């Protein structure tokens, strides 16, 4: 039997809590005002990503994430410092420190989600996953990169946050990301929307 999947990219992420999410949005505002960087707004929710796939089997994944979130207790991680991935254009991000609990949750999620994912992105697989909160991508050139990094390194970018949710994002036809489902640790499914 062939699984039913949705077209378009989907991701399983954890949204950042307040006030850190607002602080990240302020950084996005500053990067846009000073350097003209605004592509990040295509995914307007400060977050870090657990897994990215072309699509998921929605029936299975909603049930799985609900059960996972019911059993999972919130935990803390440290967001500390700025770095970048090298690509055609640099991807600038805040580092999420990999603590044993974070890696354990990630490995469990990867093993449970992957059978229901179409084309899971291997950059998010255990062993290659580098959790991060993206600050700039696509519209940052290597010519502005040193200035952007110097600007960010002058700032205090260290926060301890509670990880208390799993959120499924989907990409609309125009490329904009949208919250499809949200699951709170200890509660399960708390929000469900159609991805339009």
pLDDT category of residue 98 using cuts at 50, 70 and 90: confident
Full-model pTM? 0.91
Residue 6, pLDDT score: 41
Give mean pLDDT, residues 3-14.
68
Structural domains of the chain ordered from first start: 10-190 (3.90.1140.10)
Distance CA 64, CA 134 (A): 27
Cβ-in-10-Å burial (0-12, 13-18, 19+) of 32 comes to middle
pLDDT at 196 > cutoff 80? no
What does the pLDDT look like over 38-79, one tens digit per residue?
999 888 999 999 999 999 998 899 999 999 999 999 999 999
Mean model confidence pLDDT for the chain: 92
SS3 readout for 115-169:
HHEECCCHHHCCCCCCCEEEEECCCCCCCCHHHHHHHHHCCCCEEEEEECEEEEE
Instruction: Name 83's bridge partners.
Output: 93
What does the pLDDT look like over 141-176, one tens digit per residue?
999 999 999 999 999 999 999 999 999 999 877 778
């Amino acid at each position: 039997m062939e699984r039913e999947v949705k077209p378009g990219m989907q991701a399983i992420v954890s949204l950042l809590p307040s006030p850190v999410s607002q602080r990240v949005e302020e950084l996005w505002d500053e990067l846009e005002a000073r350097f003209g960087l605004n592509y990040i707004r295509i995914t307007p929710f400060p977050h870090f990503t657990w897994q990215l796939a072309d699509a998921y089997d929605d029936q299975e994944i909603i049930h799985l994430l609900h059960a996972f979130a019911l059993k999972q207790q919130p935990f803390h991680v440290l967001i500390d410092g700025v770095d970048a991935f090298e690509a055609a254009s640099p991807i600038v991000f805040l580092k999420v420190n990999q603590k044993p609990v974070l890696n354990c949750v990630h490995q469990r999620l990867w093993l449970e989600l992957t059978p229901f994912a179409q084309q899971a992105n291997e950059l998010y697989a255990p062993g290659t996953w580098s959790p991060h909160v993206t600050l700039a991508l696509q519209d940052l050139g290597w010519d502005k990169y040193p200035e952007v990094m110097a600007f960010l390194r002058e700032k205090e970018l260290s926060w301890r946050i509670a990880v208390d949710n799993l959120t499924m994002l989907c990409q609309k036809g125009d490329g904009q990301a949208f919250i499809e489902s949200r699951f709170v640790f200890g509660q399960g499914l708390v929000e469900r929307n159609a991805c339009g």
